[in-house]
């Protein structure tokens, strides 16, 4: 019969993954070193595979040990949430919500919003993943998506939180050159992996002769290069206004306005954890978008 992994086994593996030594694991588990050693040997024998590679640097977890440790952390979070539920009754919001957004949205919009309300929900956990597509949500690898799009997928439901405008941004010493000879500037742009992005379409239509000096795989990287003074770029207003030393060098670019949507799958919208995120994020993100 195949060995059934127990909660004790998961706790043991997690302690050794975190401690990387028998002594540290024993300290975390509040047992002696010999107990940890025997328990790991017994578990490896029962599973029929090694869980750790021992070296001078300590105990390095194998892929199996890492997978077990991840499940152990989930179990830890579930127990913590259960304890909060016992202490606070039916009003507690608990569970894990997987949220996907772009790196630029994460840093400029989502993180400041989360910092305001997440501490008041100790039993609510978030798994954040950055991606430029809706694929994660469609494959059920995520529960909620925060996306800039004017055409949200029909199979998702949600709220429009505002509209982002795009302008040319850069340091002040680029202003005159932009007015007189825009093609002479060092432009920073997205690479071919995001060829349909509004800023790329605008540049190809209005500045067809411009060859970007720098190409990046994300808008967050484009903004960082602009902030460093390396050139100019078309950036969303919500992310550029906070860049030190960076100024608006143009009016809003025509045809680039893009809506910000908070989306989920229909089967998730009734979940209390998802409803809470929608209710907490909506007013904060609308304020950040100037709505």
Does residue 2 belong to any structural domain of this protein?
Answer: no
Two structure tokens written together for 164:
């982002």
Residue 144 lies in a domain: yes
b/e string for 221-247 if b means 16 or more Cβ within 10 A? bbbbbbbeeebbbbbbbbbbeebeebb
Residue 266: per-residue pLDDT:
86
With beta carbons less than 8 A apart as the criterion, state whether 183 and 210 touch.
yes
Edge to edge, the sheet with strand 247-248 lists 233-236, 166-170, 247-248
pLDDT in tens, 71-108: 888 787 777 666 666 665 556 787 889 999 999 999 99
Are residues 270 and 128 part of one domain?
A: yes
Find all residues with CB under 8 Å of 94, minimum gap 6, and list them: 81, 82, 84, 85, 123, 124, 273
What average pLDDT does the structure give for the chain?
88
Residue 63 has pLDDT above 80, yes or no: yes
pLDDT tens digit string along 224-260?
999 999 999 999 999 887 788 999 999 999 999 999 9
Is the pLDDT reported for residue 115 higher than 90? yes
For the chain, how many structural domains are there in total?
Answer: 3
- pLDDT at residue 36 is higher than 70: yes
Same domain, 156 and 170: no
- 129 pLDDT more than 80: yes
Q: Answer whether residue 130 is part of any domain.
A: yes
Q: Do residues 146 and 277 lie in contact, with contact meaning Cβ atoms separated by under 8 Å? A: no
Let me know if residue 1 belongs to a domain: no
Given this model, what pLDDT does residue 133 score?
Answer: 64
Structure tokens at 99: 């949220």
Does residue 182 lie in a domain region? yes
Task: Work out the percent of the chain whose per-residue pLDDT is above 90.
Answer: 63
pLDDT value for 114: 96
Q: Are residue 30 and residue 149 in the same domain, yes or no?
A: no
* Same-domain pairing of 146 and 264: yes
Asked if residue 284 lies in contact with residue 116, where contact means CB atoms within 8 angstroms, the answer is yes
26 near 33, Cβ under 8 Å?
yes
Look-up: residue for tokens 């902030």?
A: 227
- 55, 87, 119 — which closes off a domain? 87
Which of residues 57, 87, 117 is at a domain's end?
87
pLDDT of 70 reads 87
| Cα–Cα dist 65/148, whole Å | 38
Within-domain flag for 272: yes
More confident call, 291 vs 27: 27
**pLDDT at position 145, please?**
92
User: For position 189, what pLDDT does the model report?
Assistant: 94
What element of type H or E holds 248? Answer: strand 247-248
Q: Whole-prediction pTM value?
A: 0.67
The secondary structure of 87-115 as a DSSP string is HHGGG---EEEEEEE-HHHIIIIIHHHHH
The pLDDT confidence band at residue 196, using thresholds 50, 70 and 90, is: confident
Which of the four pLDDT bands, split at 50, 70 and 90, describes residue 119? very high
Domain boundary among 50, 69, 87: 87
Residue 73 maps to a domain: yes
Interval 164-187: pLDDT, tens: 999 999 999 999 999 999 999 999
> End-to-end alpha-carbon separation of the chain, Å?
61
Q: Which domain holds residue 191?
A: 166-256
**pLDDT given for residue 272 in this prediction:** 86
**DSSP letters spanning 21-48:** SHHHHHHHHTS-HHHHHHHHHHHHHHHT
**What CATH number is associated with residue 149?**
3.40.190.10
| Position 135 pLDDT exceeds 70 | no
């Amino acid at each position: 019969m195949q060995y059934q992994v127990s909660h004790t086994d998961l706790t043991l593996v997690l302690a050794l993954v975190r401690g990387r030594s028998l002594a540290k694991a024993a300290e975390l588990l509040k047992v002696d070193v010999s107990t940890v050693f025997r328990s790991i040997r017994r578990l490896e024998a029962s599973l029929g595979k090694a869980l750790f590679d021992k070296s001078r640097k300590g105990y390095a977890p194998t892929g199996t040990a890492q997978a077990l440790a991840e499940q152990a952390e989930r179990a830890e979070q579930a127990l913590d949430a259960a304890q909060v539920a016992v202490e606070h009754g039916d009003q507690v919001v608990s569970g894990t919500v997987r949220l996907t957004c772009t790196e630029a949205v994460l840093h400029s919009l989502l993180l400041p919003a989360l910092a305001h309300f997440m501490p008041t929900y100790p039993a609510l956990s978030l798994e954040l993943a950055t991606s430029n597509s809706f694929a994660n949500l469609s494959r059920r690898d995520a529960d909620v998506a925060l996306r800039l799009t004017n055409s949200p997928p029909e199979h998702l439901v949600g709220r429009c939180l505002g509209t982002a405008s795009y302008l040319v941004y850069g340091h002040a010493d680029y202003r005159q050159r932009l007015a007189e000879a825009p093609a002479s500037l060092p432009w920073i742009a997205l690479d071919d992996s995001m060829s349909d992005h509004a800023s790329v379409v605008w540049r190809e239509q209005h500045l067809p002769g411009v060859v970007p000096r720098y190409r990046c795989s994300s808008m967050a990287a484009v903004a960082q290069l602009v902030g460093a003074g390396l050139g100019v770029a078309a950036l969303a207003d919500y992310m550029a206004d906070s860049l030190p030393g960076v100024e608006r060098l143009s009016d809003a670019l025509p045809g680039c306005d893009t809506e910000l949507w908070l989306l989920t799958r229909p089967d998730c919208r009734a979940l209390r954890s998802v409803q809470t995120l929608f209710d907490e994020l909506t007013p904060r993100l609308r304020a950040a978008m100037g709505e």
